[in-house]
Amino acid sequence: MKINLLLTAFVPLFVFAVCAAAAATEDEVIITASRRAEPAKDYAGSVAVLDRVRLQQVSPVHPAELLNEVAGVNIHRGSGQEHLTAIRSPVLTGGAGAGSFLYLEDGVPLRAAGFSNVNGLFEGALELAGRVEITKGPGSVLYGSNAVHGLINILSAAPAKTTSPSFDFLGNEHGYARLIAATNGALFDGRFHAALSLAHEPGFRNNSGFDQQKLQIRYDGMAGPWALKTLATFQNLNQETAGFIKGHDAYKDRALSASNPNPEAYRDGKTARFSMQMRRPLGANSHLTLIPYTRWVDLSFLRHFVPGKAREDSGHKSVGLITTYESVLPGGSYTLGFDSEYTNGFLKEFQPGPRVFSFIQGNHYDYDVGALVLSPYLQTRFDLGAGTKLNLGVRADYTRYDYHNNIDNGRFGRFLRIADRQDDYLTFAPKIGLTHDLGDTLTLYGRYARGNRAPQVTDAYSLQINQQPGEIKPETLDSVELGLKGHLTKIRFEAALFAMRKNNFFFRNANGFNVSNGKTHHKGAELSFDAPLGRFMALSGAVTLARHTYAFSDIVRSSSSSIHRGDLVDSAPKTLGYLQMAVFPTGKTSVSLKVQHVGKYFTDPGNTTQYGGHDVFTLRGGVDVSKSVHVYGRIDNLFDIRYADRADFAFGSERYFPGRPRTLFIGIRVHP
C-alpha cells in the first residue's frame, strides 16, 4: 500500500466514522502540562495520551512500536533498544538528538539537561507505565532545557486496591522473552505498587541481542497535610549491538540484513532514579508542591557508527528540587515555580584500534563537568469570557558549566581537547496560548511558544578542529500552532497546523564534523482520531504532512555534505501515518490490522541519496480465556517486506538498520 492509497482511504474512512458514531464521550484529561490532572481542552497545545489499555494492546518491545502511532512522531529503531527520535522534526542525531527532546518520568527528567542521551527512552520504564503523554512542540513553562521539539512523559502506574500479583509473559519465535510481574499492597498509611520487567532478546541479526532488567516501586500516602507520591526506578541494559549494513539498498538483501558488520559493538547502561512528590494545600485555593529527586547514570558503548570505533564511557549524578506554587483566583489562576539542579558528570572517549583517517588511536577526550541549572517560571490563566481562556507564561533557565580537562590540551587528529573553563548560558522562553470552546465538545486553540536549550556538555567540550571554544550558543526554536480538538459524538480527534523556526542548530554533517550555527524551518499538518463503529468495530489513525528545510548554506568539498538554503533536511519524511481497523467479534475477543507508513526521505544533507519509504502491516489479536487470564499475540511485518528501520548516509556510504522480518509474538497476561 503506497501513501496515495493510504491517504485516499484515510479521509473517507474518517468521514464514515464520524457519520457512523452516536453518543457522547468523556472529556480527556492530561497531567504533563501542569503536573496535575486537568482537562485537555484547557491546554493550548497538542498532547497525545496513551493510556494503560493502549499500552497493553500494543505491548511494545521497543518504544517505536508504541510512539509511532502518535501523529508527528517518528522513532527510528536502531539495534536492540537503541533509537533516534523525531517529534515535529527530522530524526535528529548526536547532541541535537539528545538535547531536542525531553524524556520524563512522572514529570522529572530522566537525564540532567546537559547530559542527555540520544537513546534515552530505553532508560524509562515504558513497559511498566500507567500511561504515556507526548507533548508536541515546546513544552509548557514547567519544562525548560531540551523541551524544544517535544517531550515524552512516562507516568507510573498508581497502586491498586487489589493485593494479588499479576504476571505478563511475552515471547517470539526467535527466542525473545519478557516477564513483567507486579504487585500492590498496604504500607504505613498508604499503598505501594511494585513492578519488575526482565527481558531477553537474542536478536534477529548475527551476534546481537540484549538483556534488560527494570524495577519500579511507587508509594502513595500521607504525611500530615502532605500528599506523597514516592517513586524509585532502576534499569540495567547489557546489549550486543548490530551495526549498519552498507551499500545501495543493502536492506533488501536477506543475507546482509541478518549480518552484523560490527560484532564487537556493545552498549551497557545502568540508571537509578528516586523522586518524592509532596503536595499540600495552602488555604482554600492554593497548593504548594515540592519534588526533591536524585539520579545516577553510568553508560559505556562502542562508537561503531564512526570510522574510529572509539569506546565511550560516561555518567553523571544529580540532585534537584522542583518547587511549584499554584493559586486559583476569581476569573483565572497563576503558577509560580523554581527548579534547581546540580550535576557532576564525566566523559571518556578512547580509541583502542589503529588510526582511521583523522580518527587517531588513543584518548580523544577525558573530562569532568559540574553543572548548575536554576530556573524560575511564571504561568497565568485568564478567563476572557464564556469558554475563552488566555494563557501567558515565561521561563528563564540559567546554566553554568564548570569543565575540567584530565588530559593534554590541543589538537589530536580531528579532535580538539580544550583547557579548563567555565561557561554560562541564560535563556528565556515565553509562551502565549488561547483556547476557545466551540460548544461542549470542541476546542479551538492557538499558541506561540519558544523552546530552547543550553548546549549539551558534548556539544560544548567534545570539540573538533573546525571549532573554537565558547562559540556554541543556546539553540532556540519559535513555534506557532493552530489546532482543533475534542470529540464529535464518539469520535475523538485532534487536528493541528504548525510552523517553527530554529536558530543555532547544532548537528554533525555527513562527514562527521560539527556544525554549530545551523538554521532550519519546519511546517506541517497533523490529524489523529479514534472512532468506534458500532459495537463490534473501531477505526483509528494518524497522518502527518510536513516539510523540514535548511534555512542556511554550508558548502563543503563533498556534495553529499553540502547544504544549500531550501534543501530538505535529511531523515525527514514528508508523510507519516498509520491506519488500524479493530474488530471485536465478542466481548472477550479482539483482532486488529494496522498499516504503518513512512514516506520517502533524503539520507544526506546534500539531498543526493534517498530512501524510498515503506508500509509495514501488523496483525494483533487477543482473547479473554477467563476473568483473570488473557492470551494475546501479534505478527509483526505481516507480509515480510524488506525495509529499513533507519536509512543513513555518512562517511561516503549508504547504510541501514534493516527492519525485523515477519515475526510471531505470543503472550499471556494473568491479573487479579
**pLDDT over 70 for what percent of the chain?**
95
Residue 400 has pLDDT above 90, yes or no: yes
Q: What is the mean pLDDT of residues 611-620?
A: 97
Per the structure, the complete domain to which residue 479 belongs is given by 3-670
- pLDDT score of 24: 38
Higher pLDDT, 481 or 20: 481
Whole-angstrom distance, CA of residue 443 vs CA of residue 494: 10
- pLDDT score of 605: 86
- For 669, phi and psi rounded to 5 degrees? -120, 125
Whole-angstrom distance, CA of residue 327 vs CA of residue 284: 9
- pLDDT score of 561: 76
Give which of 214, 199, 69, 220 is closest to 157, Cα–Cα: 220
Question: Would you say 371 and 342 are in contact if contact means Cβ atoms under 8 Å apart?
Answer: yes
Higher pLDDT, 143 or 561: 143
Residue 500 has pLDDT above 50, yes or no: yes
List, in order, residues 6 or more apart from 633 with CB less than 8 Å away: 620, 621, 622, 664, 665, 666, 667
Q: What angle do CA 96, 498, 616 make, to 5 degrees?
A: 70
**pLDDT per position as a tens digit, 91-128:** 998 888 888 999 999 999 999 999 999 999 999 999 99
Q: What angle do CA 395, 398, 404 make, to 5 degrees?
A: 155
Residue 669 has pLDDT above 90, yes or no: yes
Whole-angstrom distance, CA of residue 548 vs CA of residue 565: 12
- pLDDT score of 517: 83
Q: What is the mean pLDDT of residues 413-434?
A: 96
Q: Could you write out the three-class secondary structure of 47-67?
A: EEEECHHHHHHHCCCCHHHHH
655 beta partners: 246, 648
- pLDDT score of 557: 67
- pLDDT score of 555: 80
The order of strands in the sheet holding 108-109 is 46-50, 129-136, 150-156, 101-105, 108-109
Name the grid cell of 11: 479521509
**pLDDT per position as a tens digit, 24-82:** 345 688 888 888 888 888 899 999 999 999 999 999 999 999 999 999 999 999 999 99
- pLDDT score of 519: 94
Question: Would you say 170 and 127 are in contact if contact means Cβ atoms under 8 Å apart?
Answer: no
- pLDDT score of 558: 66
Residue 6 has pLDDT above 60, yes or no: no
269 beta partners: 237, 299
CA torsion sign for 558, 564, 568, 570 is positive
Q: What is the DSSP string of 72-135?
A: TB-PEE-STT-EE--BSSPPP-HHHHHHSEEEEETTEESS-GGG--TTGGGGS-GGGEEEEEEE
Name the grid cell of 17: 466514522
Name the grid cell of 567: 534543501
Q: What angle do CA 13, 544, 477 make, to 5 degrees?
A: 155
Whole-angstrom distance, CA of residue 618 vs CA of residue 637: 6
**pLDDT per position as a tens digit, 560-587:** 678 889 999 999 999 999 999 999 998 8
**pLDDT per position as a tens digit, 626-654:** 999 999 999 999 999 999 999 999 888 99
Q: Which residue has the cell 501542569?
A: 34
Question: Would you say 67 and 91 are in contact if contact means Cβ atoms under 8 Å apart?
Answer: no
- pLDDT score of 15: 42
- pLDDT score of 31: 87
- pLDDT score of 628: 94
pLDDT band at 12; cut points 50, 70, 90: very low
- pLDDT score of 7: 44
Q: How many residues does the chain have?
A: 672
Q: What is the mean pLDDT of the chain?
A: 92
pLDDT band at 510; cut points 50, 70, 90: low
- pLDDT score of 460: 93
- pLDDT score of 73: 97
Number of domains composing the chain: 1
Radius of gyration of the chain from its Cα atoms, rounded to whole angstroms: 24
pTM of the model: 0.94
- pLDDT score of 615: 98
Give which of 345, 255, 364, 223 is closest to 303, Cα–Cα: 364
Give which of 369, 139, 388, 119 is closest to 241, Cα–Cα: 119
For residue 599, give the amino acid letter. Answer: G
pLDDT band at 19; cut points 50, 70, 90: very low
Reading phi first (left if > 0) and then psi (alpha if -120 to 50, else beta), residue 482 is in: beta
Whole-angstrom distance, CA of residue 649 vs CA of residue 605: 9
Name the grid cell of 635: 505478527
SS3 category, 461:
helix
pLDDT band at 266; cut points 50, 70, 90: very high
- pLDDT score of 87: 97
Q: What is the mean pLDDT of residues 316-320?
A: 98
Question: Would you say 558 and 606 are in contact if contact means Cβ atoms under 8 Å apart?
Answer: yes
Least confident of 27-31, 271-275, 323-327, 540-544: 27-31
CATH of the domain at 549: 2.40.170.20
- pLDDT score of 490: 87
**pLDDT over 90 for what percent of the chain?**
81
Residue 2 has pLDDT above 80, yes or no: no
Please report, for residues 408, 412, 465, 493, the alpha-carbon distance to residue 363 in angstroms, rounded to integers and kept in the order given. Answer: 10, 9, 15, 53
Residue 307 has pLDDT above 80, yes or no: yes
- pLDDT score of 20: 39
Least confident of 415-424, 464-473, 568-577: 464-473
List, in order, residues 6 or more apart from 149 with CB less than 8 Å away: 86, 87, 88, 89, 92, 100, 101, 137, 138, 451, 477
Q: What is the mean pLDDT of residues 486-502?
A: 94
